[in-house]
Every structure is written in structure tokens, then in C-alpha cells.
Amino acid sequence: MKKILLMHGPNLNFLGKRDTAIYGSCTLQDIENLTINMAKNLNYSVMTFQSNHEGQLIDYLQKYSNDIHGIIINPGAFTHYSFALHDALLDTGLPIIEVHLSDIKKREPWRAVSVTSAAAIKVISGKKEEGYREALQFLVEYIENDHHK
């Protein structure tokens, strides 16, 4: 069974408690469950990982990128300034979809910039938890069509 990594960056462990008007009312567990369940129907398995620490996200990517076929990541605020996470994502050589619950283009100006998205084949922003469904569908089709970056 092919495997996807669903990765979340800082503060996303607090989903459900954060501003629900901006991020929706799903908890991280809800988002992980909906992705895992949808993946099951597509015959894929999902590994999940969340950390508030940049280095832990990078270590995880370096450790597990050989075991997986693609990545869905919401890097949280690291999106806007972590060149190290960008490089680690790029180094995996895997297809990556970047997801944001909120529309990062319609908030503070500093949020409109994503330095990590250059490593992604697609960015989905502003669709709350629905963005993860769209990301998984797109990623699985991409992998099944055997595209290479």
C-alpha cells in the first residue's frame, strides 16, 4: 500500500481552540481522521506528524521520506519564513501539496508570502478542512499518473 505523510507545523495541535472563524472548528485529530479515512478508500495509508519545532519537522522528513510517496503539509507560520523547511521538503524529491485552512492571501501582508510553496506542486488555501480532501485527491491522482517533478 502506498503511503502519504500528513505533516503539520506549529500551533496546529491547537486547532479547535484557535479562532474558529479563521481556521474552522475541526481539531487536528478530526483533520487527520478525515484524511486517513479518505485515503483508505483510495487504498493509501497515511502517516501523521505534528511539531511546534522546525528541526523536528526537518528530522522527520529526512528520516521517513524514503518510506513515502507524497506529502501533504500545513507548515503553519513556518510557511512564511522557514527556508530550512523549504529545503528539507525539496530534498525529499517527493510530490508535495501545501494546505492552509485560512486564505493566507487575504490576511496580514506578511502571511501572503509562502517561502515553502516553491517546493510544492500545488497550494490549497482558504478552504478549511475541505482543502485536505482536495489535496489528497490531487496528490493520489498525481502519484498514480506517475508524474515526476
What does the binding site for ligand DQA look like in residue numbers (CB under 6 A)?
11-12, 74, 76-77, 79, 100-102, 104, 111
Per annotation, catalytic residue among 8, 23, 44, 69:
23
Per annotation, catalytic residue among 44, 86, 100, 132:
100
Nearer to ligand DQA, 12 or 72 (CB): 12
DSSP assignment string, the chain: -EEEEEEE-TTGGGTTTS-HHHH-S--HHHHHHHHHHHHHHTTEEEEEEE-S-HHHHHHHHHHHGGG-SEEEEE-GGGGGT-HHHHHHHHHHTS-EEEEESS-GGGS-GGGS--SSGGG-SEEEES-TTHHHHHHHHHHHHHHHTT---
The label of the residue with cell 487536528 reads: 28
Q: Cβ of residue 144: shortest distance to ligand DQA, in angstroms?
A: 27
Q: Is 100 a catalytic residue?
A: yes
Q: Is 147 a catalytic residue?
A: no
Nearer to ligand DQA, 92 or 114 (CB): 114
Nearer to ligand DQA, 32 or 69 (CB): 32
Q: Cβ of residue 67: shortest distance to ligand DQA, in angstroms?
A: 25
Q: Cβ of residue 100: shortest distance to ligand DQA, in angstroms?
A: 4
Nearer to ligand DQA, 23 or 44 (CB): 23
Q: Which residues are designated catalytic?
A: 23, 100
